[in-house]
Homo-oligomer: A and B are copies of this chain.
Amino acid sequence: MTVRVAVDVHGADRGPAEVAAGAASAATPQLEPVLYGPHGVDAHGLPLVETEDAIELDEPPVDAVRAKPGSSLVRAVRAVADGEAQAVVSAGSTGAMLAASLLHLRRLPGVLRPAIAVVIPARRGPTVLIDAGANADARPEHLLQFGHMGAVFAEEILDIAEPEVRLLSIGEEDEKGNQLTLDAHALLRASALRFTGNTESRWLLEGEGDVVVTDGFTGNVALKALEGTIRSVLGSFRDEVGSSLLGKVGGLLVRPGARRLRARLDPETYGGAYLLGLRGLVVIAHGSSSRVAIGNAVRLAALGVEHRVVDRLEERLSAGVLSTEAGRRAAETPSS
């Protein structure tokens, strides 16, 4: 079976040509990227669905999605809703992808809020951070669901049996945190998940737990602190070393090691993040994605289709979330 992945060519900092080239690099007999973009884009032999419009990064997401039903982003998402593709990839506005997905794909039964799952290349192996930015304000029962979604992701995509789930807080002790994490801690503790307590952001890049649960505001702050610090430290290192001749010679000798490190820590290696909890597979790529990153994002989307991530989430959430009183109450409360 060929997996078809709808690719929005707009939204990336480097423009549609870069996205098209990246999508083309991922094509195989089993994986057919379908481009959604303007007439005239070099499609590298891929099918191109011509679109008239594009959603800009600074547009209010919900308004833009409603006002531009013919935009490449909305058309690509609708391709999954209509069964024309099994997954969608966009490097455009995260907010617009979330809005379009909620409108056209809708949530899986029982899901309160979709969440962004990002793989962090930790020293001891990959860690899933969820939510990395979809929900700036979240409730404890949302965090419980994020734990379940992250666990399914770790099982299916990272091939980790019985993943260890942790809650991101400001101390390892159970009673450390803000009100949200204290309440979420209790729900996670009472759940069927293999929950092993809090973790701190200082361990994110070392790898403590397979899944780290948090709200979208905190997760986004932690993720960007990681990315920014990696870039700053490597950049400062280059500056310091380059300030003397011997340092420069040494810099040449350590370059292969530095390259390996950079490759592991580069967000482009993973290419994208899943937006989980929807009736369809959605991958959000970094706005700064190169063609390499787009290629990886398209492959990540296909991998999710092959592993039936959406079906597995549906099975898990219909069973898992309702297994606690709090989950039942939460599922009965309409979410905003």
- Contacting chain B: which of A17-25, A80-88, A202-210? A202-210
- Considering only CB atoms and an 8 Å cut-off, how many residues of chain A contact the other chain? 63
Beta-carbon contact of A241 and B221 below 8 Å: no
Copies in the complex: 2
Report the Cα distance A170→B214, complex, angstroms.
14
Please name all residues of chain B whose beta carbon is closer than 8 Å to the beta carbon of A123 when the two chains form the complex. 232, 235-236
Beta-carbon contact of B170 and A220 below 8 Å: yes
- Looking at A168, A216, A241, which has the most chain B CB atoms within 10 Å of its CB? A241
Please name all residues of chain B whose beta carbon is closer than 8 Å to the beta carbon of A260 when the two chains form the complex. 240
Of the candidates B173, B236, B254, the one whose C-beta lies within 8 Å of that of A261 is B236
Q: Which of A67-90 contact B (CB under 8 A)?
A: none
A243 at the interface (CB under 8 A from B): yes
* Residue interface mask A210-248, B partner, CB < 8 A = 1: 000001111011101111111111111100111110110
Report the Cα distance A220→B202, complex, angstroms.
10
Beta-carbon contact of A247 and B257 below 8 Å: yes
Closest Cβ of chain B to A204, distance in Å, is 6
The chain B residue sitting closest to A215, CB to CB, is: B178
Report the Cα distance A264→B243, complex, angstroms.
16
Beta-carbon contact of B247 and A254 below 8 Å: yes
Beta-carbon contact of A202 and B217 below 8 Å: no
In the complex, 17 of the A-B residue pairs with CB atoms within 8 angstroms, ordered by the A residue number, are A123-B235, A136-B170, A136-B178, A136-B179, A170-B216, A200-B228, A201-B225, A202-B225, A202-B228, A205-B233, A222-B225, A226-B229, A237-B254, A237-B257, A244-B257, A250-B253, A250-B255
What residues of chain A have their CB less than 8 Å away from a CB belonging to chain B?
58, 60, 123, 133, 136-137, 168, 170, 173, 175, 177-179, 181, 200-206, 215-218, 220-222, 224-237, 240-244, 246-247, 249-258, 260-261, 264-265
The 5 closest A-B pairs by CB, nearest first: A250-B253, A202-B228, A240-B257, A225-B225, A201-B225
